[in-house]
């Protein structure tokens, strides 16, 4: 990956709707070279996909919660059952296996606190894989970015 790929990735992560000609102009390549590089980055998995970033509050999801989950037992089967749970619950935005006291950290959205309570009390807590949950509600969002510091990566080479 060279500096052109880095510039291409940075431009696309900031605006995935750029046309090939607009992207080529930003990166400093011909449109054909730019198209070839973009295709290669997609094939290699550096670009996972393209999407629109939606505003949760504007769509009625006024609550963001971070939930620490401790598993009932630590086994591959139980971990798989928990993964299947988070995959089927649409309100789960992100889920990570973590170090520390909890086994997982889960980011959820909900329309309101009663809806979050239903998710936790009726879906997560009764699930066979889960022993304990501890939730924290986001009061304000200080930063919400999916941008990776790819230009910084290029400068550390």
For 114-127, the pLDDT digits (tens) are: 999 999 999 999 99
Scanning 17-65, the segments in alpha helix (DSSP H) are: 20-27, 31-44
Model confidence at 58: pLDDT above 90: yes
Question: Per-residue pLDDT averaged across 52-63, rounded?
Answer: 95
Q: Which residues contact 70 (CB under 8 A, 6 or more apart)?
A: 101, 102, 103, 130, 131, 132, 133
Q: What is the pLDDT of residue 152?
A: 75
Question: Per-residue pLDDT averaged across 25-41, rounded?
Answer: 96
């Amino acid at each position: 990956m060279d500096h052109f790929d880095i510039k291409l990735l940075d431009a696309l992560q900031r605006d995935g709707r750029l046309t090939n000609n607009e992207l080529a102009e930003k990166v400093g390549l011909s449109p054909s070279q730019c198209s070839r590089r973009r295709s290669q980055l997609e094939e290699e998995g550096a670009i996972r996909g393209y999407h629109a970033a939606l505003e949760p509050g504007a769509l009625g999801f006024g609550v963001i919660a971070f939930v620490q989950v401790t598993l009932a037992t630590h086994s591959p089967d139980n971990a798989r059952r928990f993964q299947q749970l988070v995959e089927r619950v649409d309100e789960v935005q992100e889920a990570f296996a973590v170090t520390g006291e909890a086994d997982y950290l889960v980011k959820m959205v909900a329309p309101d606190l009663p809806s979050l309570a239903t998710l936790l009390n009726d879906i997560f807590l009764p699930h066979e894989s889960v022993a304990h949950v501890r939730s924290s509600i986001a009061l304000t969002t200080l930063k919400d970015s999916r941008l990776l510091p790819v230009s910084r990566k290029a400068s550390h080479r």
